[in-house]
Amino acid sequence: MSESADNARGAQQRVWFVTGSSRGLGRALITAVLDAGDIVVATARRPEALAEELKEYGDRVLVLPLDVTSAEAARTAVDAAVDRFGRLDVVVNNAGYANVSPVETAEDEDFRAQFETNFWGVYHVTKAALPVLRRQGSGTVVQISSVGGRVGGSPGIASYQAAKFAVDGFTRSLAAETAPLGVRFMVVEPSGFATDWAGSSMTVHPVPDAYDATVGAMNRRVRQGTAGSAGDPERAAEIIVRTVRRGEMPSHLLLGVNAVTLALDYSRRQLEEAEAWEAVSRSADFAEPYPVELPPLTGQ
């Protein structure tokens, strides 16, 4: 179905449920949704200021408190949204944050707390919404991840990136489980955007000298640099809304030049490595020839 056809069909307002709505991409997203004429259930840990900001949209907005780390709170918020609007059409798991520390010196409690929000928060909200979407026979779940959740390897934010990898695996399984039920899933993978993600939302823990060349260098170049991020959160939000509102959407949506560059480079390197080791990998099965030569060392 084309975008124009879907928009024509979709004169009916969609009900969006968005976590982490108070700032950054979440804040831009609820504005884009409202500007598109849809309805928003905007959730945040501290919703008071957000409710005041959105008063102009009247009955098209419901602002709710939500700590995504609580399964009970997620169910309560979803129930309140359905009680108010009768349905959910789009669920966006946007709440998340990252703190910086090498794994060796990271505090276990901090590492786990990040995972509680960045993965378990997605789990709780998605699970709370699934019965609603299943009964409806329709609905879209958008998981806001990161290009780091595809390519990994960013020093200092292992908990954040591990959680994003987990979200991707979780979502792929869910998409397979719910395929006959009319539920769609899309993982959004941005690169750096001009939000507060690397600002006051991020705690940078002390970096030992042994990790200055990796974690320290990344902090200076990217997280504490003065150039600013290339991505425009308002454009990103509009792209997400336009993509969801059409009849077809990708399973994974990269956003930003760096996201595209990193993902394409990673995929090419993955393919090259798999092809180089193909004979060795196949030889692990009983029916395959064994042993086989390992690939030549690089440069020989």
Look at strands 39-44 and 90-93 and give their pairing: unpaired
164 is catalytic: yes
From the number of C-beta atoms within 10 Å of its C-beta (0-12, 13-18, 19+), residue 235 rates as middle
Confidence at residue 225, expressed as pLDDT on a 0 to 100 scale: 57
Q: Are 263 and 287 in contact (CB under 8 A)?
A: no
Mean pLDDT for the stretch of residues 292-300: 88
pLDDT, tens digit, 9 for 90 and up, residues 81-115: 999 999 999 999 999 999 999 999 999 999 999 99
Residue from 21, 22, 101, 145 carrying the catalytic annotation: 145
Distance CA 30, CA 28 (A): 6
Would you place residue 224 in the very low, low, confident or very high pLDDT band (cuts 50, 70, 90)? Answer: low
**Residue 53 has which token pair?**
């900001």
Check residues 234 and 49 and name the one with the higher pLDDT: 234
160 is catalytic: yes
Q: Is the dihedral of CA 134, 136, 137, 141 positive or negative?
A: negative
Residue from 154, 164, 191, 229 carrying the catalytic annotation: 164
Domains annotated for the chain, with CATH where assigned, are: 3-255 (3.40.50.720), 260-300 (no CATH)
Distance CA 16, CA 91 (A): 6
**Residue 130 has which token pair?**
């699934």
145 is catalytic: yes
Would you place residue 158 in the very low, low, confident or very high pLDDT band (cuts 50, 70, 90)? Answer: very high
3-class secondary structure, 27: helix
Confidence at residue 300, expressed as pLDDT on a 0 to 100 scale: 54
